Structure 1
């Protein structure tokens, strides 16, 4: 039997399935990644994620908790799961849970494309909260439970 967290995750991922739209998005993400050379496809998808974030700005947030709440309200509107923010001394770790799964086909390519979109969106949202454009936000793949991991890190 699955634990309660796994059941909740599976429930939310089932609810995110929108016939037609999710297939279209998967075809578009795959097409971009297959037709662009090297890092160009991911860079284009990061740009599109940033454009999406610009169209859906967050309110000004004074604390990490307020930022997490604002992000999760927006992600709920999109039906894109939720994010947990973990501040460190020089970084902010983002763990994106219950993200929409690939309707069919190449899960790795879907994950790469969706992750690139989120990378661009999170970067724009953090910059709008006072973050610096020279501080990178980067995808770190997935954790053991399949959550997408990102890190906003000031390397200085």
Structure 2
């Protein structure tokens, strides 16, 4: 009888941990939560599941809104932002741009608790493969993509004030 009670308690504890793991990961392991969102974002882009990629992005206008302070808000409603994001993705498709692979290469810490991930992307543009470095940062439980090398990043990140015109390539 003691073994049955012990087994029941063990199953109850394990079930509680499994059910609450997303909350535990979010609150106590933010680096793992960021990795989870990074993997979801880039894998969604590779699999052409753009609505899933949109759902993890931090949406922002990227303007100072009349001040020198950079704004991490958007004036668009969620539906307007989603429609514009899909326009940006359609623009990328016209440019024959696809992400083929990605790799998290490093986690960098600034002050002991602020961190961001460095990534290496393999991208194909007009049949030519390129490798680009970029960063991803967890902010307000969403993913903020930091521009590095990829001239097309603004057409797949959360920035909402973007002109849909082909970037100057090097």
TM-score of the two chains, using structure 2 as the length reference? 0.27
Q: Which has the larger radius of gyration?
A: 2
Which protein has greater RCO, CA pairs closer than 8 Å, 6+ apart? 1
Which has more strand, going by share of residues? 2
TM-score of the two chains, using structure 1 as the length reference? 0.28
